[in-house]
Amino acid sequence: MSANLFDKVWELHKVGQLPSGRDQLFIGLHLVHEVTSPQAFAMLAERGLGVAFPGRTFATSDHIIPTDDQSRPFKDPQAEAMMAALEANAASSKIEFFGLASGRQGIVHVIGPELGLTQPGMTIACGDSHTSTHGALGAIAFGIGTSQVRDLLATQTLAMDRPKVRKIEVEGSLAKGVGAKDLILYILSRLGVEGGIGFAYEYAGSAVRGLGMEGRMTLCNMSIEGGARAGYVSPDETTFEYLRGRPYAPALADWDKATAYWRSIASAKDASYDDEVGLDAAEIEPMVTWGTNPGQGIGISRAMPRLGELPRERREGARAAYDHMGFSEGERIAGKKIDVAFIGSCTNGRIGDLREAAAVAKGRRVASGVRALVVPGSMQVAAQARAEGLDRVFVEAGFEFRLAGCSMCLAMNPDKLEGRELCASSSNRNFIGRQGSARGRTLLMSPAMVAAAAVSGEVVDVRSL
Amino acid sequence: MATSGYVRALVSGRAIPLRGDDVDTDRIIPARYMKGVSFEGLGEYAFRDARFDESGRPKEHPFNEGRFSGASILVVNRNFGCGSSREHAPQALARAGITALVGESFAEIFAGNCVTLGLPAVGVAAEAARKLQDMVEADPSLTVEVDLESREVRAGSSRFPLAIAESHRKALASGLWDSTAELLPGLDAARALAARLPYSKWARSSP
């Protein structure tokens, strides 16, 4: 038996063992944004410490950025203060900052891979739970809290216990109209939202190999929704091709050395794991969540589960979810009338997601009474979408085409649900209140399914359009 | 918030039960209260939307019940603190007077954030969590003890074995939970390791 990627990369980055028994782990790339960093910079200053590795630290702003009018100062004084704090901290600590003027601003988990900062065999951390996204490139990447952001700024290391590794092997081909978002929602529905506690997930098998890099990012992005702090795909030619020529990727003169390292840390065929799960890709259809956690999802053709069919320990949660959603057990999810459609977020705000949604929107109209938003994950995604004319497709169909940011995924900016609105959303969390209204309701699905719901006015199987 | 040295081997106090699985950090502290550059004042907003409706009227919630006022041990169920990594969640709980959490299980990032604040989050069996909640409901004056040395939670005459990552237990019980203080002595070794990493040596394409 040989080592899996996770164990090899961990070993390479282990500085030593700490008095508490945790490992001191070196982090190759630290990404910083405006919400979870100002307190960390303040704590650092309180202790008279500086940033140890500014060259390994990169900042951008995403959560609080308005997506309609980004002129400064922002209309929301709190958002302006957070933006100003990040700009000041980055400048005084000599951290490269991808602001609005750089043309490279965007959601931190979109721009890391896009700029080639994220690379195989790296350790990556950010004060954001969706940092697991970067595992798509064969990195091991963790979301951390603000005190750990302070740790990283001060030492570029974290105090961590090594998690176990679970291999999730998905064999077969995904059906037409079924993609990475459906795959991860299916995995969550099978393994639960707490099944991954204590594990990192390695996604493998022919269905995963068959995904492009952006699909792999969608998959790894929602690992945390399953309780797994990290998720990754072992790197292959698809990964290397994606990285070639990106601004912060290795120069071509060093390319052979880089790919040799990347191949060396890939999981071997006979690698050992703490746990293995096998799934059949052919069983998966477009998925939609019916409840208030991302594990509460079903295939579009299915009825919402009856409480009695669920494992005993999931019934109370399901009952509370039905209460909030205003749904009843045994009902079909298809046909639910929506008020809002949101396409974007670190899960599904990349160019491939926008292409997928535009293909559905083209030549159709957003149903009357539906508010539909397309929010690119980065300035570069937005520019590419414009170059391909996707913005026109969306606008002609009645969608708003916005500027880059986290937008309605988490409502720290003006994009929010109101009252009891029901939102078809390509984001990652259907938690109560997540999209900005305590009574608001979220249905998670793929970008194509959101576009289909937008033009139909109700939840519908995109394959039927 | 203290920066180092406090031993958290034994935490005791009256308890407050909060029932339900998969309580996410958006529930603990809604995102709109993260719009600030400090953690000050967050205690007031813990569970805000679960406690109050949109017009500010209180809803039924243990944090609104006078009989649990001043309680410091939060008793929860499965996968508490899932979702967003926001440290604002344990910061809000700590600032609302919570000094330890007992539950069936905790999301990993949340549990780690608790340790960095010196806040033990310990696991007990599912039935034990429910029994503790029942006991506290029946008698809010009951003292609950979380003992990291003997690895048990005590309430009245009941004792429940507790589970916590050994490194977390050790850090809290020995006052080593300030991770920056623990990591700083390794800074030179970290610099040496960084220089050896393969990717430290490559030029960038065109930054």
Tens digit of pLDDT for each residue in A77-93?
A: 999 999 999 999 999 99
Contact A143 B205 (CB under 8 A): no
Domain identity same for A314 and A451:
yes
Of B102, B104, B134, residue with least CA distance to B119: B102
Q: Does A432 touch chain B (CB under 8 A)?
A: yes
Q: What ranges do the domains of chain B cover? A: 10-176
Residue A391 lies in a domain: yes
- pLDDT tens readout for residues A377-414: 999 999 999 999 999 999 999 999 999 999 999 999 99
Q: Does A436 touch chain B (CB under 8 A)?
A: yes
Domain identity same for A187 and A133:
no
- pLDDT for B206 equals 85
- pLDDT for B175 equals 87
Share of residues in chain A with pLDDT > 90 (%)? 99
- Residues of B with CB below 8 A from A151's CB? 179-180, 183
Helix or strand holding residue A372 (H, E): strand A371-374
Average pLDDT over residues A242-261: 97
Residue A63 lies in a domain: yes
Final residue before a domain boundary, out of A111, A142, A160: A160
User: What separation in angstroms does the CA of A332 have from each of A234, A306, A329, B5?
Assistant: 38, 11, 9, 56
- Residues of B with CB below 8 A from A19's CB? 170, 174, 176, 182
What fold characterizes domain B10-176?
A: Aconitase; domain 4 (3.20.19)
pLDDT grade for B58, boundaries at 50, 70 and 90? very high
- In sequence order, the 6+-apart residues with CB closer than 8 A to the CB of A412 are A35, A63, A64, A79, A406, B31, B32, B34, B35
- Residue in A116, A194, A224 closest to B78 by CB: A194
Parent domain of A95:
5-160
Average pLDDT over residues A242-268: 97
Residue A126 lies in a domain: yes
User: What separation in angstroms does the CA of B160 have from each of A236, A254, B12, B114, B130?
Assistant: 48, 58, 14, 21, 12
Share of residues in chain B with pLDDT > 90 (%)? 93
Q: At what angle do helices A38-46 and A77-93 cross, to 10 degrees?
A: 50
pLDDT grade for A106, boundaries at 50, 70 and 90? very high
In the block, tokens 């305590």 appear at: A438
Domain identity same for A271 and A125:
no
Average pLDDT over residues A237-252: 97
Final residue before a domain boundary, out of A119, A143, A160: A160
**pLDDT score of A373 more than 50:** yes
Q: Are strands A123-126 and A140-143 parallel, antiparallel or unpaired?
A: parallel
Residue A277 lies in a domain: yes
- pLDDT for B1 equals 33
- pLDDT for B76 equals 98
**pLDDT score of A125 more than 50:** yes
Mean pLDDT of chain A: 97
Contact A246 B83 (CB under 8 A): no
DSSP code at position A269: T
If one counts the domains in chain A, the total is 3
Average pLDDT over residues A271-299: 98
- In sequence order, the 6+-apart residues with CB closer than 8 A to the CB of A175 are A281, A282, A284, A285
Domain identity same for A397 and A429:
yes
Domain identity same for A175 and A93:
no
Q: What is the pTM of this model?
A: 0.97
Contact A143 B165 (CB under 8 A): no
- pLDDT tens readout for residues A145-187: 999 999 999 999 999 999 999 999 999 999 999 999 999 999 9
Nearest-CA distance B121 → chain A (Å): 14
Residue A249 lies in a domain: no
